[in-house]
Amino acid sequence: MTASTGTAAPADGPSRERWEWNEERYRDGVFSHAVSTERERLRLLESVLDEHTRGHFRRQGLASGHRVLEVGGGGGSVARWLAGEGAEVTVTDLDTTYLDELSEAGVEVLRHDVYTEDFPEGTFDFIHTRYVVIHLPDPEKAVARLTRWLKPGGVLLLEEPSFFPIKDSPHPAYRKVMRAFRSHLESAVGTDTEWARSLPVPLRDKGLDDIGYDARFQRIAGGDDEAEWWRLTLEQTREAVVAEGLAAAEDFEAAYRELSDPGFHDLSLAVFTAWGRKQES
């Protein structure tokens, strides 16, 4: 299937978000696919998260033939794995550069904005997001919209990070640049860096039953994939963070030295996973 632009139906009514939604702010700013290191950054993220994601799908009963919506598909590893499990997969993102090749595997690839474009109600057996909802202007509204697209008995599965473990790191340079990065995300993208900690409460009163959640800490050690992912992530935002006066260039260099030191061990993000099953009609 070939990628398309806006094949999903437009959403009804005017936008009433906490921020005026502007997809260019995310697509062309931080995490832009135009950055030369972005694909490698996404690959590293997949390397530390995919095993957990697959386990959650299996525990929730993923089976061949299920229709699955992967929102914010990033580098495409989850959508590719789902297709390999026999699912009928639709994957969306604001920029499908890294996803278009999945059409050759039978995956439907859509450039799609979760706020301005819809799917018919009752379309999917599973809907999944990972490191997506916290960046959206109104996470609760996003959860409500995603739930509407589920079939009765379908599962909503959210995996979202929270930044609180890094705020009090004992490693001074790591702590300083992480706090600066967090402030930059909150101002430049509108990310709610602690929204995930409220899970599973946002799933309540959305027409979901069997709501549950778990939480884990991502660990980080000098030179491992998590550390390299953070180095690339921080480097993409260094110029803007320094310009905003949140940290100095030498702070970043000091943090990179810590992140490459074999003796460095700490916590990275906390990851909250929440799920619920669409109520039967």
The residue behind tokens 């033939």 is 65
Are the CB atoms for 111 and 94 separated by under 8 Å? yes
In the three-class reduction of DSSP (H, G, I as helix; E, B as strand; rest coil), residue 65 is classed as coil
Looking at the domain 4-161+192-218+271-278, which fold is it?
Rossmann fold (3.40.50)
3 near 99, Cβ under 8 Å? yes
pLDDT of residue 192: 95
Cα–Cα nearest to 75, from 112, 49, 113, 114 = 49
Compute the Cα dihedral for 110, 155, 161, 141 and give only its sign: positive
Give the model's pLDDT for residue 28: 53
Rounded CA separation 233/107 (Å)? 28
Cβ–Cβ under 8 Å, residues 126 and 155: yes
Q: Using CA atoms in the order 203, 73, 224, 178, what is the torsion angle rounded to 10 degrees?
A: -60
pLDDT score of 23: 55
pTM summary value: 0.90
Name 156's bridge partners.
127, 276
What is the greatest pairwise CA distance in the chain? 58
CB atoms within 10 A of CB 205: 9
Counted residue by residue, the chain has a size of 281
What pLDDT sits at residue 32? 77
Per run of 10 residues, the mean pLDDT along the chain (length 281 residues) is: 41 44 55 87 97 98 98 96 98 94 96 91 98 93 96 98 96 98 92 96 97 98 98 96 97 98 98 97 70
Q: What pLDDT score was predicted for residue 22?
A: 53
The confidence score (pLDDT) of residue 33 equals 78
By C-alpha distance, which of 175, 155, 192, 199 is closest to 63?
A: 155
Question: Pick from 240, 237, 239, 233: which is nearest to 269 by CA?
Answer: 233
